[in-house]
């Protein structure tokens, strides 16, 4: 499988490259051996599902995802009691992808908001990272400040700010209930991973569907993805939305 990876040089320059690997984990391992620490790897993992089972598998995974996401953000903290409106940021796609690939640095004023913006759009592949104690201390200070943009009056960034403000509300509730910022960010990683996995299974379901049923399958999957704020599959499959 071929993957595109994004990384930052010692001179703080953002670069992209390609690598062949068995799967995403193998790509990450190979890059680490080369001394490269990517902050994003783009590509589809190998299909390990039988075509006849994909449609049913998607429905099963959908149920598992909903239950898992509820468990991740429930219990003592009830973080998702008032779930924020996370969705795809519409507008200039290249602008959004560039901001995401650069970690939203240069868009938001505060480091905390740059991190939270990575989780603004459901289903986007975010590589989990470990946060140092000094980073967590910075985020704790940031949480007491108001989120703001360095570049205002850009609709795409204003929408990102709206979503980040909602995620901040989750975080504040989590902290007030005795949780920590580090474990909250780890929960966001798990939520993002579940969403990304769910979308990949939807893609495989349509790709491997009987040709006579593909249009109906595409419509059905897109309705489910849209309801969860995820991007639909037209661009992935090279077709136009009807």
How far is the CA of 189 from the CAs of 153, 162, 195, in angstroms? 30, 20, 10
- What does the pLDDT read at residue 241? 44
Q: How are strands ordered across the β-sheet holding 2-8?
A: 14-20, 2-8, 40-42
Q: Of all residues in the chain, what percent carry a pLDDT higher than 70?
A: 80
**pLDDT level of residue 51 (50, 70, 90 thresholds):** very low
Q: Where is 60: in which H helix or E strand?
A: helix 51-72
Higher-pLDDT residue of 59 and 123 is 123
- Average pLDDT score over the chain: 81
H or E segment to which residue 183 belongs: helix 181-207
Q: What's the mean pLDDT in 70-97?
A: 66
Q: What is the pLDDT of residues 102-157, one digit of tens each?
A: 999 999 999 999 999 999 999 998 988 899 999 999 999 999 999 999 987 899 99
**Token pair listed for 90:** 């519409």
Whole-prediction pTM:
0.66
Predicted confidence band of residue 235 (pLDDT cuts 50, 70, 90):
low
**Contact call for residues 17 and 4 (beta carbons, < 8 A):** yes
* Cβ atoms within 10 Å of 26's Cβ, excluding its own: 15
Range 178-197 average pLDDT? 93
Identify the weakest region by mean pLDDT among 45-54, 146-155, 160-169.
45-54
C-alpha 150/C-alpha 191 separation (Å) is: 28
User: Between the CA atoms of 92, 97, 102 and 107, what dihedral angle is there, to the nearest 10 degrees?
Assistant: 30
pLDDT at 50: 39
In the chain, what is the straight-line distance between the N-terminal and C-terminal CA atoms, in Å?
31
Q: How many Cα atoms sit within 13 Å of 222 on the Cβ side?
A: 16
CA distance 210 to 208: 7
The answer for residues whose C-beta is within 8 angstroms of residue 2's C-beta and 6 or more apart is 18, 19, 20, 43
């Amino acid at each position: 499988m071929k993957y595109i990876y994004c990384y930052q040089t010692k001179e703080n320059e953002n670069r992209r490259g390609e690598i062949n690997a068995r799967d995403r984990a193998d790509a990450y391992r190979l890059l680490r051996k080369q001394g490269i620490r990517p902050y994003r790897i783009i590509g589809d993992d190998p299909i390990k599902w039988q075509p006849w089972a994909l449609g049913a598998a998607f429905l099963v995974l959908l149920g598992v995802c909903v239950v898992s996401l509820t468990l991740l953000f429930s219990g003592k903290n009830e973080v998702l009691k008032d779930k924020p409106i996370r969705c795809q940021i519409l507008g200039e796609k290249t602008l959004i992808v560039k901001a995401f690939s650069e970690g939203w640095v240069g868009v938001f004023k505060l480091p905390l908001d740059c991190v939270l913006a990575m989780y603004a759009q459901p289903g986007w592949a975010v590589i989990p990272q470990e946060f140092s104690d000094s980073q967590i201390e910075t985020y704790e200070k940031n949480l007491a400040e108001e989120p703001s943009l360095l570049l205002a009056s850009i609709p795409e960034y204003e929408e990102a700010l709206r979503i980040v403000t909602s995620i901040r509300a989750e975080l504040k509730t989590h902290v007030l209930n005795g949780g920590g910022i580090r474990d909250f960010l780890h929960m966001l990683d798990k939520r993002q991973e579940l969403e990304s996995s769910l979308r990949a299974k939807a893609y495989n379901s349509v790709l491997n569907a009987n040709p006579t049923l593909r249009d109906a399958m595409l419509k059905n999957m897109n309705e489910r993805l849209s309801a969860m704020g995820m991007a639909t599959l037209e661009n992935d499959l090279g077709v136009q939305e009807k």
